[in-house]
Every structure is written in C-alpha cells, then in structure tokens.
Structure 1
Amino acid sequence: MEDKTITKIPFGQLGIIVHESCKELGQKVDDYIVERRKEEFANSCSEYHLEEIKDTYVIDSEIVRFANGEAKGSLKETIRGKDIYILADIGNYSVTYNMFGHENRMSPDDHFQDIKRLISAIAGKARRIHIIMPLLYESRQDKRNSRESLDCAMALQELENLGVENIFTFDAHETRVQNAIPQTGFESLYSTYQIIKAMNKVDAEICFDKDEMMVISPDTGAMDRAIYYASVLGLDVGLFYKRRDYKKIIDGRNPIIQHEYMGAEVEGKDILIVDDMIASGGSVFDIAKELKKKNARNIYVAVSFTFFTNGIEKMNKYYEEGYIKKLFSTNLTYVPQKFKDAEWFEEVDMSKLISLLIDTVNYDDSVSPILDSTNKIKSIVGK
C-alpha cells in the first residue's frame, strides 16, 4: 500500500502548503515525495515527469500576526495552475502568538481560521485545492442534541464554499458528517495497518491469535472500529457499555456511572483496546482496571489521536502499576516530547501514507487501495 508506483501524468504541478501547526509532519511528507519521484522518474523520458523532480514541493507561506491578534495569510511564491494541498493540524496547542503583549496558545478555532486565510491567499489561481486535516475540525460536535450548533458540518460547508475540492482526514469521529457536503470529496483514512505493523515490530510478546488476544471497544460508538480490528486479525471482540447519569450534565456531558462489560472471557488473554482518540483518558483507565479485575494479561491501547487533556500523571501511574503495558498512537496531531519519552508510549509515523495519498491524488489515480489495508494487515498476521 505504501510502496505503490505512480506512473500517470499529474493533474497539475504539485504544491504543498504546510501550516505552522504541521511543520514536522509536513517535512517528513515532503521528503518522502521527493525521494519517491526522484527514484521513479529519474529515467523517464516524459517531460511532465522530469518537471516534477524537485528538491521540495513545499510552497513558501506565512501567517502574519498583528499585535492585536488579527492576522493574514501570505504566499511567497506563485501557485498559479498548481495542484495545491494544504496540510494543517488543528489540534496543535504548542503553537503560540502574541496579542497585546501576552502569549496565547492557538486553539482549533485559530488554526481553522488560518486554513481559510491560506485558501484566501490562493485567490482562485490554483488549479485545485485539497485540505489534509488529519484531526477533523470540530469532529466531536457532529450531531445535534436539542438546541446545539452543528460546528463540523458548518466548517465543511465553509471549505466547500471557498473552493476546496477534496477534504482528507483520519479516523473521523463520525464519517456521516460528509453528508453536509455531498458535492465535495471527503475521505476518512485509518491508521489500522500502521498501528498493527508497529505493534508487531515493537513488542515480540504480542501474539495475534484468538486464544491469546481479544479486541475491546470502550463504548458502542467505537464498535465498528473494534469489529474491523477483530475481523482482520481473526480475534474475538468485546464491548464496554457506558452507563450514564442523564439527570446531570458536567462539562457538557452526562457523567459516566459505570462501565459494563459484554463479551467473552478475558482471563489470561492480552487485550487490545481500540478507539479514535484519548481525551482525558478516564474511560481507558476505568476499563483497564475492570479488565485487570477479570484477570486479563497485558493491556494494549491503540488510538489515532492522543491528548491527555488532564496530563499524563495518571497514565504513568497505571503503567507503573501494570494496568496498561503500551499505548500506540500516531503523529497525526501534536504529541508533546514528554509523551514520546515515556516508556509506555509508541509513536506510529503516518507521513509515508500521507505522501502516497498526495502523490496518488495529484496523478488522478484511485485512492481505494490506500483506504483498504485489509490484505496488508493479513500478511503481517500470516507472518
């Protein structure tokens, strides 16, 4: 999947605009594309291919911030007729700006506004505009309960109205939000293959065998994801049901009273808990403790995005006490260095897949092989 050869003529000259929030990931993506194209087109007689061999495809861009907090997007080179890909991480809270002498951390709202500024700076001169937003903006506010806003749908419609042709994200909280933009391309990719590959490489004790391991969904919303993992790995699947107190609302949500387990016996088995993200980590901690009470062996957690909004002190404690052995998470959103340095954390690099996605779309090839990694996963399990 990640080694596919590109042979078609490009739709337009490739240009990648990397927002400040995504510099590290963007550099890796650019390096992969440069390396791939130099290898594939070095002996090509096609003038189109030879023109596409460059040392970098990143467009020099900047967000200029004024002292009162206002800003503007600026492009330092021409993008006329190019196939543009804007890469931004709306979850990167390490990016700051100065406002009236105070240093402020950028919120998802600030990052999304910058994306729109960059699109505005393009001013219709690009041939196509694609957004690669690994962490989908406002993805947790995808549906309406009572009198609430529909933030994710509104944001997607804004991008559509600005002329964006395709929106790419990873492990969207609810993929049906694409119904808000039926005439615009929307794809949600998954990190399943890369995570399983990392698990197979990092921990020799992991055995993807039905008698040795189970997949657990932390709630009903993540059940489809857990079923996919279980199906391709040939494992049993279990579910934790969240009993909530619907009489109360704390921090905008009904508090969880208890996690109820439904599934086969977990005693003596390794457990793989899969979800799209870890926010505070509360649910994972409660589930890990319940599974250990049922005499589960080793507990692994696999997610696309890791936040730990309340810090990692509790995670450190749960690791030291043997509740959780390893957390596998991607570099699709900002990961603080202290997370990376922790013994329990294993970062899964997704830059090669993103580079292949950009190459594939730029050459107007089908992205279906990238979306479906079942055969690749089965080859790992078979080995």
Structure 2
Amino acid sequence: MFTLNLDPNFTPYTATALPHKTFTFYGGEPHIKIEEHFDTSQIVTITHRLNSFNALGEVCIAADALRRMGVTCINLCIPYFPGARQDRVMVPGEPLTVKVYATIINSLGFGKVTIFDPHSDVAPALLDNVEVISNHAFISQVIQLIGSPVKLIAPDGGALKKIYKLSAYLGVHDVTECGKSRDVATGKLGGFKVYEEDLAGADCLIVDDISDGGGTFTGLAEALKAKNAGKLYLAVSHGIFSKGFDVLAQSFETIFTTNSFRDVNHPVVRQIQLSF
C-alpha cells in the first residue's frame, strides 16, 4: 500500500508515501502533481485533515489525479469528519451539512473511508464503505498517562451511548452523567448539571469527541467543582480550540487530544499522534 499524505504533518500510516507537489492558483484553486514512478496496481490511501472546505477540494483533485494515472483502488483516511455536528436541521433555512460532505465523498468512489470517533451515527450512516475507528485506544492511552484512577464524565446526553461502550471496553464502571441546555437560535449554552450529589474528591476525566470554543467544558468544570470533584482532566478526539486555551487552562490539569484536526503546542495540552 502507498499513502498520499496531503498534509505533510499528518502521516497516520507507515506505508510508503508518494512524493507530490501541491500549490494553490491565484484564483484560489488547489492543484497537485504526483510523481509517476510507482506501482499503480497497488492500493493508495489518501490522508488529510479536513479543517477547511478547500481541504476537501484537495482530496477531490488528488483522487482524480490518481485515477488518471491508472490507480484503481483508492482509500481515504479523514479522521475528523467535517460538518458532523450539523447532522440535523434545527431551524428553517439551514443546510444538512454532514450530508453535503458525505455526498461529495461518496461521489469519488473510494474503496474505504476511514473516520475517527464521529460526532454521531449520522456520518457513518451516510458514507459508503466506511470504517469507523473508536476513541477506545485513545482514551486508554490517556488514562495510562494520567496514572491514577479517574471517574469518567459524560458531558451530555448525546455522549452517553459512547461513554458506556468506552467504560465497558476499559473495565471502568465509575461513570457520571452530566447535562446542559442550548438555545438553538443563538447557540448559547447554560444549565450545566452533574447528576451525582457528591463526587467526594474524585479525579474526573471528561470525554467528548470535539472541543471547539470550549464553553461546554468550562461550564461543566464549574459544575463538577461545585459537587466536590478533585483534579479535572479533559480528553477530546478532535481539538479545534477556536478560542485558545486561556480559560480552559484555568479549569483542567491536562487537556488530551489527537492530531486529527491540527497540531497543538501548549503547556496544558498533551497531543497524541494518531496511528492506524
């Protein structure tokens, strides 16, 4: 197998990487030139971090270039699936963004599409030939790095199904459920609740798939401390961190994430490299 790593800093496979050159025209269009000297009868896996719509365009032109070179079996590895949080139409006038991305990717006819810890079951249901990698190995590594017992924290109702599967895998049955409310018109968060009366100084690990602005986790941190939590840790599979770490760093001992979305360098963050 060969890989075509469209982001040179993201190389999740140990297979031979195909040399290539990419650039963007002045009109904004991405372009690629792949070196021709390789066995085109072999499987080629395109890898990328889809953190912009232009990155999806790079995947599209890369797949086209490979097919024009005679490659017949092309796979795709995109750990962060974009638009996965837009898996319902909440108010009239909004798109079903996850389906837009899935439709484009399906049209490219990949033999396999690998995604990591998707936000919900919607993205995998929409994708053809999908392979879903769970967060189990990632969280197992996080717990080893913490080095002491922790209580698993489900941040909201949407995380319950995944966290109970995770707890069964880890053999950790100390799970605390939490809740929050969101104004669908404004997106404002509030009403953070911890459904346990007294955490009695227990160290807690909040587990979720995405951290964007971080409001969910700072709100939960305050609610957990009000219930006598000990040290707080956060583990998110996809770290966007659009508002930085100043506020999050005040609440958590360590924030664990992967390199599925971007590279992070901050004293409070421990980033784990994905390897498939």
- What's the TM-score, normalizing by structure 1? 0.66
Alignment of 1:372-383 (within 5 A): none
Partner of 1:381: none
In the TM superposition, structure 1's runs of 4+ consecutive aligned residues that sit over 3 Å from their partners are none
Unpaired stretches in structure 1, ≥5 consecutive residues = 1-13, 34-56, 92-107, 208-212, 355-383
**The one of 229, 246, 270 aligned to 1:346:** 270
Describe the SS at the equivalent of 2:164: helix
Partner of 1:65: 24
The offset of 1:77, in angstroms, is 1.7
Alignment of 1:303-322 (within 5 A): 303-316=236-249, 318=250
The offset of 1:350, in angstroms, is 1.9
Partner of 2:177: 239
Find out whether 1:118 has 2:62 as its counterpart: yes
State the distance in 1 between where 2:197 and 2:263 align. 34
Partner of 1:173: 119
Partner of 2:104: 158
Describe the SS at the equivalent of 2:31: strand
Describe the SS at the equivalent of 1:284: helix
Which of structures 1 and 2 has the larger relative contact order (alpha carbons within 8 angstroms, sep 6+)?
1
Describe the SS at the equivalent of 1:301: strand
The offset of 1:25, in angstroms, is 2.8
Alpha carbons of structure 1 residues 131 and 151: separation in structure 2 relative to 1, 3 Å = same
Partner of 2:2: 15
State the distance in 2 between where 1:162 and 1:348 align. 30
Alpha carbons of structure 1 residues 239 and 147: separation in structure 2 relative to 1, 3 Å = same
State the distance in 2 between where 1:122 and 1:270 align. 50
Alignment of 1:129-278 (within 5 A): 129-145=74-90, 146-181=92-127, 184-200=128-144, 202-204=145-147, 206-207=148-149, 213-231=150-168, 232-245=170-183, 249-250=185-186, 253=187, 255-263=188-196, 265-278=198-211
Larger Rg, first or second structure (1 or 2)? 1
Partner of 2:53: 109
1:76 maps to a residue whose letter is E
CA contact (8 A) 1:137 1:155 kept: yes
1:151-206 CA distances to partner (integer Å, 9 max, x unpaired)? 2222222222222121101011122333334xx21122123223322431x333x1
CA contact (8 A) 1:238 1:264 kept: no
Alpha carbons of structure 1 residues 155 and 244: separation in structure 2 relative to 1, 3 Å = closer
CA contact (8 A) 2:264 2:271 kept: no
> Higher helix fraction: Structure 1 or Structure 2?
1
Partner of 1:294: 227
- What's the TM-score, normalizing by structure 2? 0.90
Alpha carbons of structure 1 residues 237 and 199: separation in structure 2 relative to 1, 3 Å = closer
Unpaired stretches in structure 2, ≥5 consecutive residues = none
Describe the SS at the equivalent of 1:272: strand
State the distance in 1 between where 2:246 and 2:240 align. 13
Q: What percent identity do the matched residue pairs reach? A: 20
The offset of 1:280, in angstroms, is 0.8
State the distance in 2 between where 1:241 and 1:132 align. 32
Could you say what the CA RMSD is over the residues aligned between the two structures, in angstroms? Answer: 2.0
State the distance in 2 between where 1:195 and 1:81 align. 37
2:223 maps to a residue whose letter is E
The offset of 1:311, in angstroms, is 1.6
Find out whether 1:77 has 2:36 as its counterpart: yes
Partner of 2:13: 29
Find out whether 1:87 has 2:83 as its counterpart: no
The offset of 1:217, in angstroms, is 0.9
Partner of 1:359: none
2:153 maps to a residue whose letter is I
CA contact (8 A) 1:59 1:77 kept: no
State the distance in 2 between where 1:273 and 1:291 align. 10
1:133 maps to a residue whose letter is I
